[in-house]
Amino acid sequence: MLEQYQAQTKCLVALDSIIFGFDGEELKLLLVKRGLEEHGDTWSLMGGWLRPHEDTEDAAARILFELTGLSDIYLEQLQVFGAPYRDPVERTVSIAYFALINVADYKDVISHTFEAQWFSTQELPTLLFDHGRMVELAIDRLRYKATQHPIGFELLPDKFTIPQLQKLYEAIFNTEFDKRNFSRKILSTKLLIKLDEKQKGYSKKGAYLYKVDKDEYRKVFDTFLNFVPNGFMA
Do 158 and 73 share a structural domain?
no
Model confidence at 27: pLDDT above 60 = yes
169 with 106, same domain?
no
pLDDT of res. 3: 79
> Where residue 79 sits, what CATH number does that domain have?
3.90.79.10
Q: Going by C-beta distance under 8 Å and a sequence separation of 6 or more, which residues neighbour residue 171?
A: 22, 25, 26, 27
How distant is the alpha carbon of residue 191 from its chain centre?
21
Amino acid 57: pLDDT: 95
Q: What is the CATH number of the domain that holds 225?
A: 1.10.10.10
| Domain closes at, from 118, 133, 148 | 148
What is the predicted pLDDT for the residue at 114?
66
Tell me, what's the pLDDT at 193? 92
CB 178 within 8 A of CB 233: yes
Please check whether residues 222 and 107 belong to one and the same domain. no
What is 180-210 written as a DSSP string? HHHHHHHHHTT-EEEEEEEE-SS-SS-EEEE
- Residues 40 and 118 sit within 8 Å (Cβ to Cβ): no
Do 143 and 163 lie in one domain? The reply is no
CA distances from 54 to 10, 13, 60, 90, 157 (A): 17, 11, 10, 21, 32
Which pLDDT score, from 0 to 100, does residue 1 have? 67
d(CA 228, CA 148): 7
pLDDT, tens digit (0-9, with 9 covering 90-100), for 199-220: 875 555 678 899 998 888 887 7
Tallying the residues shown for the chain, one arrives at 234
Distance CA 222, CA 231 (A): 22
In terms of domains, do 50 and 72 share one?
Answer: yes
- Looking at the structure, tell me whether residues 189 and 79 fall in a common domain: no
Same domain, 118 and 225: no
Q: Please report, as a single letter, which amino acid is at residue 171.
A: A
**Model pLDDT, residue 113:** 60
Q: What percent of the chain stands above pLDDT 70? A: 85
* Average pLDDT of every residue of the chain: 86
Q: How far apart are CA 110 and CA 203, in angstroms?
A: 32
What secondary structure does DSSP assign to 38-81, as a single string? GGTT-BB-EEEE--TT--HHHHHHHHHHHHH---S-EEEEEEEE
pLDDT of residue 232: 47
The domain boundary, picked from 94, 117, 148, lies at 148
- Domain total of the chain: 2
Q: For residue 168, give the 3-state DSSP assignment.
A: helix
> Residue 226 burial (CB < 10 Å; 0-12/13-18/19+)?
exposed
Span 109-154, pLDDT tens digits: 665 666 788 999 999 999 999 999 999 999 999 998 888 888 888 9
Tell me: do 130 and 43 sit in the same domain: yes
Judgement on whether residues 66 and 160 belong to the same structural domain of the protein: no
- Are residues 159 and 219 both part of a single domain? yes
* Same domain for 123 and 185: no
Whether 67 and 134 share a structural domain: yes
- The pTM of this model reads 0.88
- Expressed as residue numbers, the domain containing 199 is 151-232
Instruction: Quick: pLDDT tens for 51-94.
Output: 999 999 999 999 989 888 888 899 999 999 999 999 998 999 99
Query: Is it the case that residue 37 has pLDDT exceeding 60?
Result: no
DSSP state of 37: G
Res. 16: pLDDT tops 70: yes
Which of 148, 172, 204 finishes a domain? 148
How many CB atoms sit inside 10 A of residue 134's CB?
23
